[in-house]
Structure 1
Amino acid sequence: MKLYFLLALILMFTRSVSGNEEPVISLKKVIELRAQFKYEQALVIASTLLRSDSGNVQYLNQVAFLMAIQSYPGQPETTKQLKYEKSKYLAEKSLQRNKQDADACYNLALALGRISENASVKIKIANAKAIRVSAEKALQINPKMAGPHHIMGRWHRVVAGFNAFEMAMISTFFGKGLEGGTYEDALKHFKKPMNWSH
């Protein structure tokens, strides 16, 4: 009787340990697939992880990133926009749990940028402010993240391209928030991550 009890105890312990290790292994696999640019495969695993624990910040961040990055030319625009909106929602949910999470800030900026690609001018301007805030916050938390530097490089390049009349119109109708865009800052942000590899 004691032997059966001991075996049952060992079996329960083994299952609980392997059950705890499985999500860790799966998360490592998601990160590995991302590094190989196998976003579709990574999204399948990350989505499964998120369904198992919808409040896990790491899972939220992985799915948010993959939803924003994983739309391809030829996909219907409505499908892309649904993914971008879901990415934004997951990034915001992650930020509700941890406001100091650089990945969540970056994912929010990325999702907003994607949403803005085919949005009205009003939404583009509103999102441009939020993109800048989110990307800058990500860089304050983790200055070594390449993604937010790329987003800020694009942000500065676009804003620097506005002429004085356009900037005056934007300020009049939408207020402050788009000041400071320069080609020099765009170049600085684009180059910064490249300097890390040397």
Structure 2
Amino acid sequence: MKRLCKVYLIIFLLGLACPVVKADGNSSENEKLLQQAEKLLNNYKDSEALLLYEQIIATSADNYEALCKASFLHSRIGDRYTDETQKSKHFAIAREYAQKAYDLNPKDAESNYVMALSIGCQAMISGPKDKLAGINQVKTFLDAALASNSHHAGAWHILGRWYFKMANLNFAEKAASKFMFGGVCEEATNTDAANAIENAIKYSPENIRYYYDLACVYEEMKDDSACIATLEKAINLNLQTKEELEISRRCKLLLHQKKKI
């Protein structure tokens, strides 16, 4: 009887041990895939990186890092399309992944950032009412992201764009915003937008998009000297992608226009 009990005890312990070994192996494989994906992302191979992040999600649906990165990449890739259907498809997946990441870790900067990014992207292709609702909702997630990590360049950049959008609503949009959200747009200024994007540049000084957006804010503010200085910094950056080269082309065109004035 004692011998039989001993056999059952060994079987029971082996049964407990097997899942642990499997989980550890899966975790180890995911770590390798995360490293490979990060390397691809750093080398501007977004589609290849996304495939790896989604491979991880397929086997580990609660992998927080993969969910955040996949959401970010769907937003970025979707933004490149001119076709509204393709945009909408990528933005919807971005929002789904962001929501899952947020549910796992609602206080972390990254989950709040990808929530803000995905909601903002969806808002830009929505009708007027949904657009305003989305833009208003973005601010809550940006505040949470920056409360968690005040050095988050991406969150500062979106916040700058949020201030700029809200500060420059047309009459109808301002009236709708005031009616729906209590006039939150009245608190936003172009100076707020410039300050936020300057912080984005401070924490990520090689991102040419930040410089271009900041120059556009200064142009709206009619601050030509600040606009020109920002554009001159932008065109001297070390660029890697076609997207960056296109932004650089816009910077040069705007700089040429400003110097002719």
TM over 0.5: yes
Q: Distance in 1 between matches of 2:80 and 2:22?
A: 44
Map residues 107-146 of structure 1 onto 2, 5 A cutoff.
Answer: 107-146=114-153
Which one has the largest radius of gyration? 2
> In the alignment, what sits opposite 1:193?
200
Structure 1 portions without partners, runs of 5+: 1-11
Q: Which runs of 4+ in 1 moved over 6 A?
A: 14-17
| Aligned equivalents of 1:35, 1:77: Cα separation in 2 | 28
Q: Deviations over 1:144-193 (max 9, x none)?
A: 11111110110111111125674244212x13243421111100111113
Residue among 63, 71, 85 paired with 1:64: 71
Say how many residue pairs are matched.
186
The residue identity in structure 1 corresponding to 2:28 is E
> Is the Cα–Cα contact under 8 Å of residues 146 and 193 in structure 1 kept in the other structure?
yes
Q: CA RMSD in A?
A: 2.4
Give the superposition deviation at 1:120: 0.5
User: For residues 19-168 of structure 1, what are the structure 2 equivalents within 5 Å?
Assistant: 19-71=26-78, 73-74=80-81, 76-162=83-169, 166-168=173-175
Q: Kindly indicate whether the alpha-carbon contact (under 8 Å) linking 1:128 and 1:178 is maintained by their aligned counterparts in 2.
A: no
TM-score (norm. length: structure 2): 0.64
Question: Contact (CA 8 Å) 1:112, 1:131: kept in 2 or not?
Answer: yes
TM-score normalised by the chain length of structure 1 = 0.83
Output the CA distance in 2 between the equivalents of 1:197 and 1:60. Answer: 23
| CA deviation profile, 1:32-72 (whole Å, cap 9, x unmatched) | 22222211011010000010100121121111111111125
Question: In the superposition, relative to structure 1, how do residues 142 and 58 fare at CA in structure 2: closer, same or farther (>3 Å)?
Answer: same
Please give the alpha-carbon distance, in whole angstroms, between the structure 2 residues aligned to 1:125 and 1:108.
16
Q: Name the residue aligned to 2:181.
A: 175
Q: Give percent identity, aligned residues only.
A: 24
Change (3 A) 1:47 1:16: closer
Residue 23 of structure 1 and its aligned partner are, at CA, apart by: 1.1
Looking at structure 1, the residues matched to 106 and 22 of structure 2 have their Cα atoms a distance apart, in angstroms, of 34
Using CA pairs below 8 Å that are at least 6 residues apart, which structure has the higher relative contact order? 1
